[in-house]
Amino acid sequence: MANMRTSLVIEGMMCMKSCGTTVQNALKGVPGVIDVQVIYPPGNAIVTHTSAASATDLIDAVEIVGFGAELEGGGSPDGGVELMETGGDYVVLDVEGMMCQKSCGTTVHNVLMSVDGVTKTVVSFPHKSAHVWGSASVAELIDAVEMVGFDAAHHTATPLPPVPSVDPPPKPKPKPKPKVQPAAQKSTTTTSTGPTGVATLSISGMSCASCVRNIEKNVVGQKGVVGMRVALLAEKAEVTLDMSTGVTEEEVVGMITELGYGAKVLQRVADSSGSNKGGQVVNLEVLGMSCASCVGKVEKGLRKLGPEVTSASVNLTTSRAKIVLEEGSTIGARDLVECVKSMNYEVTVVNDDSMPDPDSIEKASMHEVDKWRRLLTLSLLFTVPVVLIHWFGMGGHAGHFFDTPLGCHKTLNLREVLMVVLVTPVQFWVGGHFYRTAYMGARHGNLGMDALIVLGTTAAYAYSMAALFIACADPRHEPHVFFETSAMLITFVSLGKLLESVAKGKTSSALTMLMRLQPQTALLLKPTTSNAYAAAAAAIEGATDAAAKRDAVSDGVGASDGRGRTGSGVAAGPILDLNGFEESEIAIGLVQVGDLVRVLPGARMPADGDIVSGSSYVDESMITGEPLPVPKSTGDAVFGSTINQNGAIVVRAKAVGSDSALSQIVKLVEEAQMTKAPIQDFADRIAGIFTPVVITLASLTFIMWFGLAEASMLPKEWLQAESSTPFLFSLLFAISVVVVACPCALGLATPTAVMVGTGVGATNGILIKGGTALETAHQVTCVCFDKTGTLTTGKPTLTDVVPLDSQSMPIDSVLAFAAAAEANSEHPVGRAVVSAARSRGLSIPHVTAFNAETGLGVEATCVGTAAGAAAGASAGGSAGGGAGGQVEHRLLVGSKKLLLKHGLALDATTDKMMARLEGEGKTTVIVVVGSAVVGLLAVADTPKPESSATVTALRSMGLEVWLITGDNVSTAKAVALELGIEPGNVMASVLPGQKAKKVSELQMRGHKVAMVGDGINDSPALAQADVGIAVGAGTQIAVEAASIVLVRNDLSHVITALDLSKVVFARIKANFVWAIGYNLVLIPIAAGALFPMSHMRLQPAYAGLAMAFSSVSVVLSSLSLKLYARPVIEEDGTIVRETLCCSWCSSIAAKVRGLSGVRYAPLSKDDEGSAYSSKYGVKIRGESKDLVDGLLEDL
């Protein structure tokens, strides 16, 4: 039975780890399926199967598990688009150099389809192949692939490919899929049979993990609520609703309000009809409409903007318009606003969900602070007099005054009456919050900290009131009251709540700081004349060309700054003539993709985009954590909200709103702070039983002391010393136990540390996706690296120029002749040679004839100078003469096969030299001038500058380092040897799925594995690893498979990420130790464990104060993470941690280290006399002192 291969497009996948595995297992279960390869992104499945499994069977299997599927290229499975064995005009190419399906695969597909005679092409990145149908020759196809920078060869023994037997119809639009919550995001959930949607709510009044547990337990499972995640510190909740039940967000708010918490809707569920799935929704407020005719006019006008407006609905009653745009629409909010304004209506954009409002977050925090400040002030107004009466009204004239009996009661005096009057408002007005919350919690079986406070204060107040009533009934009875205990307890708890709310507000300061970085307005440039339109188009085209050329230059050798710019400083970019442009200031929400915006010095970039005019330095520290400003000129990319420092530039917007890097960072940090670390489950379990256990302990404490006192087993002087009865003596111990216990400290231990830690990471360009990633990363024992683009630059670079006779043909002449031959070549090796020659400033001879030998190299004829002719003649003669001393030279640059074809050969010495270079994993080509071999050139994908130091540092941390790559074995081992990776820890020539398998093998050996890759073709391995780290994501910061994303393309940040996770998790454990230790120590003390020895008790008021400050101390402990200083990796791999006094000093040290000639090192005794060293922790060479002086003057 013949094998076949089917390629499916899978719709609805959101990740590889969960969705991809589900699809793969479903397909493997189909009878006749031999092998399944699922790729995400973009979302494809390549299935090898026998004829027993049809395309319909495969599609049905995928749809059964909740995903959409169709044949790649469209068409009906029953219509004959079956993948079968074929002959005829069909070619299979092996394509090397592809790094992904989405970009590289599309590039290869498009170039092959552009070849005359090609009717269909299927490109498979996992199998490194291209299947081509048509009449085009193999040579034409190979040339086309190599033209776009990939290597291709004819593959004659290929597996059976996909063949269309009918012309495929146009590909239908993807079927809408319900939003699925990623598996990695843990939440409280139930099953749902209908379409679901996610709403975001704001919840106030939560104090500890017990509150979170109470809300999740009582809301999930009610009508239409299938899932919920509550963030204690962010005071937010994501609620997953079953839309088929008709449940509304207001009903969920009612469920939460019934529990005693405040709630309101922040973001509603998107339109459940699916009309806006994958599109953009814009809501407008339209004023001036008076009737249904106005509504129809506005709707009709909006729809006329184009087919990209999929729907427009206007509500006359609310004066709101909802417009749904197609995904990737060129129409934006400004177009909609201008359209409505043209109809003489007032209009404003009422939503911009790209980023939460930082003011609303701070207002919510300040509302909580103001609430407790008012309650504390009110409590102090009554409690301070109570304390004065209790402590200072016991003797002297004041004592006689307060001891004045009231009426006929000899024992009831003015002191007790005044205390009742002053304490009652504190107990029931200030303490009303605790009563309400405790009551609402008790109704639903939840007893939290508020219940403990209510029990303790009520016991003290009720006992004192009972004693007064007894004294009123029996004048012979002398009342023993302690009203001051109740008042002081509520006051101290209110003080603690105030301090806690202030401290908790500061834990989100990193997030609000990021949000405030977004500018509010932008300067829009609109061309108004034909010349201005032409100038704008030319500027955009010039910027594109400049970026392409800069990328090409960065492929060569030379001192590059990593952005394709050599040397120092910023290159001056061309200036766009603004004559004919209208400049207007618009709201930031009205900036659209494609807009030209002018950015003045000192202003923030309004959107992500490319510079089309001008040059400047840009401060990108808010995105990358890099303190030094980055030089930018025409063609360079800029991030929105970064600061333009010293030059006016014009930027073309490419990503706005929710697509901008800043918005993605904020959303990712918010998402991280919404997730719970696994260790939080420990606190949740304790919170569920904490209050009942404490009440039980308090009851046992009372019973024990009261029983001992009643049985006369206690010395009488103990009771006499306190002028107390056995009941009161025992009750005070029980009250102290109740109020000293603190479940809040346990509940705050993890979320406060996670919130501060993720915020610190974001400010350093390290985006950590929640507590799970933090908890797992600190346990990592093995780090696996991808090679291309991760450990290496990902671009071929000229590494060696070896002249065979440097006297007759010096190194620059060899390179110049080779560059002349390769000048017209599109091969990556040729481009690297030309870029290297240009970066060295060499004069490249003019080429008069050129011929590319497919798979062998190039042949060319060039015209050189007289000096070049002499060199060429001595090397082997010239091909002819020319006027003015110009001489023609015949050039060959390529492989040994090229030499053999032209009747040439290498001598033994040169052959060994070439073998040595190839043994180092380098692509080596031979340079021939005339008929003589004059030199060798070696090209390789070189390691990044920091790769070696990073690997050394990781190994010094006791971690095992692996290299897993799809490249060949010799290249992989050469790179591993250069970087210090053990030869046995190298796995080469593997597909993405095999990378994931290797990660799984390491996990089975007991390792906690971190996989470091570029987040594209490494997705399976990133998802399989315990911690997936995507490096150099840039604007693509929401890499699905990665749990940690590094914005900068800097491997040393891998160490920072692992180090930060260890620091944060250590702080979480310290918080837990403190919270648990506090309760384990103070509860026995409050119960009187030390009383027999010291005759001192922990008074209930001070027990309450201790309880309040235990929560504050945990929050302050987490806030200390803001002092985190990332480790510095020296060139030799030594890890040095900054210990400077403040963040300002740290930033100064970072700027100084960025200067040429400055290196970082720990201070020694010999350095203490140096002003620079003692202040900034750096050693400075003599020639760099002026640079440092200049920098400090600027600061």
What tokens appear for 982 in the block? 């053990």
Task: Tell me how far apart the alpha carbons of residues 1177 and 1161 are, in angstroms, rounded to a whole number.
Answer: 7
Contacts (Cβ under 8 Å, ≥6 apart) of 19: 12, 13, 40, 67, 180, 183
Query: How many other C-beta atoms are found inside a 10 Å radius of the C-beta of residue 88?
Result: 8
Greatest alpha-carbon pair distance for the chain in Å reads 136
Residue type (1 letter), 609: G
CA–CA separation, 9 vs 39, rounded Å?
10
Catalytic residue flag (residue 786): yes
With contact defined as beta carbons under 8 Å apart, do 947 and 792 qualify?
yes
Sequence-ordered list of residues with C-beta below 8 angstroms from that of 989, at least 6 positions apart, any chain:
966, 967, 968, 969
Q: Which residues contact 1184 (CB under 8 A, 6 or more apart)?
A: 1155, 1156, 1157, 1158
Structural contact between residues 861 and 848, judged by C-beta atoms closer than 8 angstroms: yes
Residue by residue, DSSP assigns 446-490 as ---HHHHHHHHHHHHHHHHHHHHHHHHH-TTPPP---HHHHHHHH
CA distance linking residue 438 with residue 1021, whole number of Å: 49
d(CA 1086, CA 1081): 9
Q: What gap in Å lies between CA 327 and CA 379, rounded to an integer? A: 56
Handedness of CA 555, 561, 564, 569 (dihedral sign): negative
How far apart (Å, rounded) are the C-alpha atoms in residues 10 and 24? 11
**In angstroms, what CA-CA distances link 1147 with 1063, 1130, 1181?**
20, 18, 20
Q: Who contacts 223 (Cβ-Cβ below 8 Å, separation ≥6)?
A: 245, 247, 251
What DSSP designation does 646 have?
S
Measure Cα distances from 459 to 385, 446, 465, 466 in Å: 21, 20, 10, 10
Taking CB atoms within 8 Å and a gap of at least 24, the contacts of 293-299 are: 294/345, 297/343, 298/340, 298/343, 298/345
Q: How long, in residues, is the chain?
A: 1195
Asked if 926 contacts 899 with a C-beta cutoff of 8 angstroms, the reply is: yes
Cα–Cα distance, 331 to 325 (Å, whole number) = 8
Helix (H, G, I), strand (E, B) or coil at 523: strand
The torsion angles phi and psi of 1079, rounded to 5 degrees, stand at: -70, -40
Query: DSSP characters for 171-219?
Result: PPPPPP------TTS--EE---SS-EEEEEEEEE---SHHHHHHHHHHH
Burial call 956-989: b when 16+ CB within 10 Å, e when fewer:
ebebbbbbbbbbeeebbbbbbebbebeeebbbbe
Residues 754 and 674: their CA atoms lie apart, in Å, by 10
Contact 255, 220 (CB under 8 A): no
Catalytic residue among 151, 352, 786, 1018: 786
Provide the 8-state DSSP code for 156. S
User: 309 Cβ partners below 8 Å, 6+ apart?
Assistant: 302, 303, 323, 324, 325, 326, 329, 331
| Catalytic center residues | 786
